[in-house]
C-alpha cells in the first residue's frame, strides 16, 4: 500500500447519524416529501426507492437526522452490511447508521465503496445474542485506510463506471417490466383485451362476437366464459423450501446447489445465491430442488411477502418461500408470474393482520385468481415472453458487471492497483 494512505476511523470521514422511526400513530408524520429508508428498501444498487416518505411535519420532528444528498447509509441491525447512497435529502430508521461525508476531505462515492469493502468485518463485529447489531459508537470506531482525495476520486470514478452501466440496465429493465405489467392490467384487470369490443379476436384472425358480456363471480364482474379458480388448481407444484441443519457442515461447505433466502427475491431472475448446499444435503435433508423456471415467492415478513424470483438452474430455498409451477394445461408460467404480482397486496394484507406477519402455504393455495380462455393466455404470452427474455439478458449482464466490479473493488481499496504508475 502506498505511503500516502492513512489509517483513520469511520468518524473521521464525516458525521455519523443513527436514524429513528417517527411514531406511526402520528400519521401526519408520513406522506410525500422526504424518502424514509429502511433495510428492506436497500437492494444491490447504489440508490434505492423507499416504500415510505416523511411529510414536512415528519421532517420537523427529527430535523437533526436529515441526511443530505450523497450520504452513505449502512444497515447495522439484523441484515448487517446493506448499503446505499442518498440521491435526495432523506431519513432512515434506527436500524441504519449513516455517514454524512465531509466532502471537502473525502469523496462520498469512495466512502461508499470503502465501506462495502468492510462488509465482512462489519458482520464479524456485530454483537447481540439473537439479533446482530453494531451500535453508533462501534460503527464510528471502525478503522479504514484512506488515500488522498484525488486518488479517492479516481478510484470512485473507476468503480462508479460499472455501477452506472448496471443502473442504466436496471432502468431499461424497469421500463420493460412496466410495459409487461401494463399489458396484463389492460387485458386482465380492465378487460380491454383483443376482441373485447367485437372488432377482433385474441388470435388476430377475424372478427370477435360482439362486445364482451360481464357476469358475476367471487371476484366481481368478469367476462363471460372466464373462470375463477384457487391457485392450488392452477399449479402443478406448490411447495415450501427448507433450511438444512446448520450444525452439519457437510451440508454447506463447498456446496454447488443454489439455496435462496427471501431477502434475495427482488422480482427478477435468480442467477446465483449467497449460500449454497451440497448434493449430500439434497439427498439427506429437507431441502427441495426446484427446476429452472420455477417461481419462488416469499411468504414471511411483510412487506417482503409476495416478492418473486425465477430460478434459472436447479435450486433450493428456505422455508420462508414457496416454489410454484403452473399447470400448463390451464395457464403458462409467465401468466402465473403476473397473477402472483396482482395478488401481492392481498397477500400483504393477510400478513399484516397476523402476529408473525407471514402467510401460510394454505392461504396462498386458497387465493382466487382469474383465468381467461387459453387462446387469450397464449396471445398474452406471445407479447410478454420476448419482454421477459430481454429482462433476463439485461439482468445477466448486470450480474457479470457486478462480478467484475466486486473483483476490482478490494484490489483498488487495498492499494494493490497502482493507479499513479499506470497513469504515468
pLDDT digits (tens, 9 = 90+) for 299-356: 987 668 999 999 999 999 999 999 999 999 999 999 999 999 999 999 988 886 556 6
Q: What are phi and psi of 256, to 5 degrees?
A: -125, -5
Give the global pTM. 0.82
Instruction: Quote the pLDDT of residue 129.
Output: 67
Location of C-alpha cell 499513479: 420
Residue 423 has pLDDT above 80, yes or no: no
- Evaluate the omega torsion of the peptide bond into residue 303 and state whether it is cis, within 30 degrees of 0: yes
pLDDT for 391-408, tens place per residue?
999 999 999 999 999 999
**Residue 266, pLDDT above cutoff 80:** yes
pLDDT (average), residues 367-372: 97
CB distance 152 to 106 below 8 Å:
yes
Q: What is the pLDDT of residue 422?
A: 45
In this predicted structure, the answer to whether residue 154 has a pLDDT above a threshold of 70 is: yes
Domains and CATH numbers, the chain: 7-146 (3.90.220.20), 148-207+374-424 (1.10.287), 227-371 (3.90.220.20)
Model pLDDT for residues 31-79, shown as the tens digit of each residue: 999 999 999 899 888 999 998 999 999 999 998 999 999 999 999 998 8
Whole-number Å distance between alpha carbons of 180 and 365: 25
- Write down how long the chain is: 424
Question: For residues 203 and 382, what is the distance between their CA atoms, to the nearest angstrom?
Answer: 10
What pLDDT is recorded for position 205? 59
Cα–Cα distance measured from residue 332 to residue 385, given in angstroms and rounded to the nearest whole number: 10
Q: Read off the pLDDT of each residue in 105-133 and give the average, rounded to a whole number.
A: 92
Phi/psi zone of residue 78: left (φ > 0), alpha (ψ -120 to 50 degrees), beta? left
- Least-confidence region, from 1-5, 57-61, 174-178, 212-216: 1-5
- Helical pair 149-188 and 374-413, crossing angle rounded to 10 deg: 170
Q: Which residues pair with 229 in a beta bridge?
A: 369
Per-state percent for the chain, helix, strand, coil, to nearest 5 = 40, 20, 40
Mean pLDDT score across all residues of the chain: 92
Work out the pLDDT band at 424, boundaries 50, 70, 90: very low
Amino acid at each position: 500500500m502506498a505511503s500516502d494512505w492513512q489509517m483513520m476511523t469511520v468518524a473521521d470521514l464525516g458525521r455519523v447519524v443513527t436514524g429513528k422511526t417517527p411514531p406511526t400513530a402520528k400519521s401526519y408524520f408520513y406522506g410525500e416529501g422526504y424518502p424514509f429508508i429502511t433495510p428492506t428498501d436497500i437492494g444491490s444498487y447504489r440508490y434505492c426507492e423507499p416504500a415510505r416518505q416523511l411529510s414536512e411535519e415528519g421532517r420537523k420532528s427529527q430535523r437533526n437526522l436529515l441526511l443530505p444528498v450523497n450520504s452513505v447509509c449502512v444497515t447495522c441491525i439484523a441484515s448487517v452490511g446493506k448499503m446505499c447512497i442518498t440521491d435526495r435529502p432523506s431519513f432512515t430508521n434506527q436500524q441504519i447508521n449513516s455517514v454524512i461525508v465531509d466532502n471537502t476531505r473525502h469523496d462520498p462515492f469512495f466512502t461508499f465503496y470503502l465501506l462495502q469493502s468492510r462488509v465482512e468485518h462489519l458482520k464479524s463485529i456485530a454483537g447481540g445474542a439473537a439479533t446482530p447489531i453494531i451500535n453508533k459508537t462501534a460503527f464510528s470506531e471502525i478503522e479504514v485506510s484512506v488515500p488522498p482525495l484525488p486518488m479517492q476520486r479516481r478510484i470512485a470514478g473507476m468503480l462508479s463506471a460499472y455501477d452506472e452501466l448496471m443502473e442504466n440496465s436496471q432502468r431499461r429493465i424497469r421500463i420493460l417490466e412496466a410495459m409487461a405489467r401494463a399489458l396484463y392490467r389492460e387485458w386482465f384487470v380492465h378487460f380491454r383485451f383483443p376482441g373485447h369490443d367485437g372488432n377482433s379476436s385474441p388470435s388476430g384472425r377475424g372478427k370477435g362476437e360482439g362486445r364482451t358480456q360481464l357476469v358475476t363471480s367471487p371476484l366481481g364482474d368478469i367476462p363471460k366464459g372466464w373462470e375463477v379458480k384457487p391457485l392450488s388448481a392452477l399449479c402443478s407444484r406448490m411447495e415450501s423450501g427448507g433450511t438444512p441443519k446448520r450444525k452439519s457442515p457437510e451440508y454447506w461447505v463447498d456446496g454447488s446447489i443454489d439455496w435462496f433466502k427471501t431477502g434475495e427475491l427482488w422480482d427478477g431472475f435468480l442467477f446465483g445465491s449467497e449460500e449454497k448446499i451440497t448434493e449430500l444435503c439434497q439427498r439427506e435433508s429437507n431441502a427441495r430442488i426446484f427446476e429452472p423456471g420455477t417461481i419462488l415467492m416469499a411468504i414471511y415478513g411483510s412487506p417482503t411477502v409476495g416478492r418473486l424470483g425465477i430460478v434459472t438452474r436447479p435450486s433450493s430455498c428456505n422455508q420462508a418461500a414457496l416454489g410454484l409451477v403452473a399447470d400448463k394445461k390451464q395457464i403458462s408460467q409467465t401468466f402465473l408470474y403476473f397473477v402472483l404480482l396482482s395478488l401481492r397486496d392481498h397477500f400483504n394484507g393477510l400478513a399484516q393482520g397476523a402476529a408473525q406477519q407471514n402467510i401460510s402455504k394454505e392461504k396462498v393455495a386458497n387465493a382466487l385468481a382469474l383465468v381467461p380462455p387459453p387462446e387469450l393466455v397464449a396471445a398474452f404470452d406471445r407479447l410478454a415472453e420476448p419482454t421477459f427474455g430481454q429482462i433476463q439478458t439485461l439482468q445477466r449482464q448486470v450480474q457479470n458487471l457486478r462480478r467484475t466490479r466486486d473483483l476490482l473493488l478490494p484490489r483498488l481499496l487495498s492499494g494493490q492497483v497502482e493507479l499513479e504508475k499506470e497513469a504515468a
